[in-house]
Structures are given as C-alpha cells and as structure tokens.
Amino acid sequence: MQTIGFIGLGIMGKPMAANLLGAGYPLIVYDIVPEAVAETVAKGAKAAKSPADVARQVDIVVTMLPNSPQVKTVVCGEDGVLSGAKAGLILVDMSSIAPLAAQEIAREAGKKGVVMLDCPVSGGQPKAVDGTLSIMAGGPEEVFEQVKPMLLCMGASAVLVGDVGSGNMTKLANQIIVAGNIAAMSEAMVLASKAGIDAEKVFEAIRGGLAGSTVLDAKMPLILQRNFNPGFRIDLHVKDLGNVVETAQEVEAPIPLTQEVLEMMKHLQAEGKGGQDHGGLVQYYEEKAGV
Ligand code: NAD
C-alpha cells in the first residue's frame, strides 16, 4: 500500500486522516499544532518534523490547510514539501484555495517533477468523519485515477472536473450556493418569527418540499438550537467568497447575490463572530430585525 503524508490536521484534516488510517494506509503527519499531531499519532500515524520531512517518506502528500498562503508556504516554502520531494511524488491539495493559486503551486511543483491535483471537498465535518465528502478534482486524468481509491476512503464521490484549478473553481460554485442558501433560510426564518410563527414548525413543514435541501437539513437544526460552534467558520466562508469575487472579476461574471452575503458575513466578522459557524449568519438578520 502506498504511504501517504497528511499535512493540516484541523476540523477537517483530522477525521480525513483517521479515515485513511482506518483503510490501512501508512500515514506520516505534520501540523504546526502539536496536539493535533499527537491525536492522530495516537490512532497509528507517525509524526514528521516538517513538510519536507513528510515528503521524503511518502508517495502521496495530502494537504488540508486554511487558504492559499498556507498551502504556498507548506508546499513551496523553506522546509516545504517541494524541498523534500523526489520526482514522481503526487501532491493532492484538498484545501479550498484560489484557483489561480492552485495553478501557480502546480507549476512550481512541476519544476521538481511533482504532479499536483487540486481536490477541495464539500460536506463539512460530519461527512469528513463519515468519509462521505464530495470531492471535486482538477488535474491530469491518469494521476486522478491513481489516487481515486485513496480519495474514496475520505469521500462518497470524487469527480474530475478538468485541469488543475478546476477543483477549486467548482468549490467556489459550491460556496456561492451554500452561502446563498444560508442567507435565504435566515431571511425566511426571521420573517416568519417576526410574523409570530414558530420557526421550528416552519422548518418541519417545509423541509420535505421544494425548499428542502442538504444545507437546510444540516444548518437549520443548529440555528434553532442557537448552536454556532464551527463546523465551518464564517472566517473561512469570507475567504472563499473573497476568492469568488476575485475570480468573478477575472472572468467578468456577475455575482450580486454573493457580494451581498459577503458584506453580511464581514459585518459579523467585525463584531468578532468570525470564529462562529456560518449558520451564525442568522444573527445579521436578527440584528436588523431588532429581535
Ligand atoms: P482548520 O483551521 O480547522 O484546520 C487547518 C489546519 O491547518 C490546522 O490544524 C492548522 O494548525 C493547520 N495549519 C495551518 N498552517 C499550517 C502550516 N503552515 N503548516 C502546517 N499546518 C498548518 O480548518 P478546516 O475547517 O479543517 O478547513 C481546512 C480547509 O478545508 C479550508 O480550506 C476550508 O475552507 C476547507 N473546508 C472546510 C470545511 C469545514 O466544514 N470546516 C468544509 C469543506 C472545506
């Protein structure tokens, strides 16, 4: 079995790494937070000293980091993956980053004979734990086919969309839809509450109809319980929608809905709520509604 390196053991990375261990892959791990490493080592992984040290020992490196700057540092920086990599190593970046950054990092990797796929995911922590994430991939088909069995230990589906960068372009589309859904459900629920209707009953009544969605089912129970523990932090969604804005400017696509939701999320960030789950967006409406 191929040995896998895993860098970035946060909310998502930790359960994803655990699923690879569960499937029997030998795993070498690294994170700047020692407690995160210790937890995965306790499950059978081996700790490395740096991203370069990970790369020296493995056939495939998986990264699951917050955003483009962290992926650039971990891959291209001093003691980074590329400084320890031998030609033929496969880099699978599963973070959600800017598509252009993914292409840039892939070009740098190519100079060392390392092939990169960008494979961001959707489904959040519960699906990371269950190994049922949706994985959207970009990169060369033969390399994708090679790593697909590994990807399917973490996901229920893995779809190759196109060249490197397409995975993250698809993830941006995903994030537009999720953000718009959360804003729409928040708007609807606060309207219903202001009109004196029980929000729980509204949820129960509509979830099986056309307004029902995975987002509604995942987020509404938490919103009703006022549970805004992440999950997916508002800070990370602002990062993704910022990448949407940048990309929309490049390709000249209109994104009025996303611009609006991004401003709402930034408003909550300014109030110190960026660490909350994105379901916390409902507070923007409650604030405006005076409830
Ligand atoms: P997180 O902040 O919980 O985890 C990131 C991990 O990376 C942390 O453990 C951190 O210590 C580590 N890290 C940061 N810089 C590092 C460095 N230089 N070297 C080594 N490790 C470093 O974030 P997360 O929620 O796990 O999200 C990871 C990625 O997955 C993000 O791009 C996010 O947008 C995406 N994502 C998250 C969710 C979700 O629900 N949380 C869902 C889908 C996609």
Token reading at 34: 């020692």
98 Cβ closer than 6 Å to some ligand 1 atom:
no
What is the position in ligand 1's atom list of the atom closest to the CA of 9? 9
Position 98 confidence tier, pLDDT thresholds 50, 70, 90: very high
pLDDT digits (tens, 9 = 90+) for 161-191: 999 999 999 999 999 999 999 999 999 999 9
The dihedral formed by the CA atoms of 162, 18, 150 and 218, expressed in degrees to the nearest 10:
-40
CB 224 within 8 A of CB 188: no
What is the end-to-end Cα distance of the chain in Å, rounded?
56
Looking at residue 229, its pLDDT comes to: 97
Looking at residue 273, its pLDDT comes to: 98
Mean pLDDT of 82-92: 98
Looking at residue 19, its pLDDT comes to: 98
134 Cβ closer than 6 Å to some ligand 1 atom:
no
Q: How confident is the prediction for the chain on average, in pLDDT?
A: 97
236 Cβ closer than 6 Å to some ligand 1 atom:
yes
CB 93 within 8 A of CB 102: yes
Distance between Cα 71 and ligand 1 center (Å): 10
Question: Above pLDDT 70, what percent of the chain?
Answer: 100
CA nearest ligand 1 atom 8, residue: 10
63 Cβ closer than 6 Å to some ligand 1 atom:
no
Which of 3.30.870.10, 1.10.1040.10, 3.10.20.70, 1.10.3720.10 would CATH assign to domain 169-289? 1.10.1040.10
User: Which residue intervals of 152-231 are DSSP H helices?
Assistant: 166-194, 199-206, 214-224
CATH for the stretch 4-164:
3.40.50.720
> Where are the CATH 1.10.1040.10 domain residues in the chain?
169-289
ipTM of the complex: 0.99
Pocket test for ligand 1, best of 39, 79, 94, 236 (most atoms within 8 A of CB): 236
Distance between Cα 66 and ligand 1 center (Å): 4
Asked whether the predicted pLDDT for residue 153 surpasses 90, the reply is yes
Asked whether the predicted pLDDT for residue 1 surpasses 90, the reply is no
Q: Which residues pair with 155 in a beta bridge?
A: 133
d(CA 221, CA 23): 32
pLDDT digits (tens, 9 = 90+) for 38-56: 999 999 999 999 999 999 9
- Specify whether 127 is catalytic: no
Residue among 31, 153, 5, 155 nearest 84 (CA): 5
Asked whether the predicted pLDDT for residue 100 surpasses 90, the reply is yes
> Where are the CATH 3.40.50.720 domain residues in the chain?
4-164
Distance between Cα 107 and ligand 1 center (Å): 23
12 Cβ closer than 6 Å to some ligand 1 atom:
yes
Mean pLDDT of 91-113: 98
Distance between Cα 31 and ligand 1 center (Å): 10
Catalytic residue chosen out of the listed positions 14, 127, 171, 219: 171
Looking at residue 27, its pLDDT comes to: 98
Residues in the chain: 291
95 Cβ closer than 6 Å to some ligand 1 atom:
yes
CA nearest ligand 1 atom 20, residue: 31
Position 276 confidence tier, pLDDT thresholds 50, 70, 90: very high
Question: Above pLDDT 90, what percent of the chain?
Answer: 99
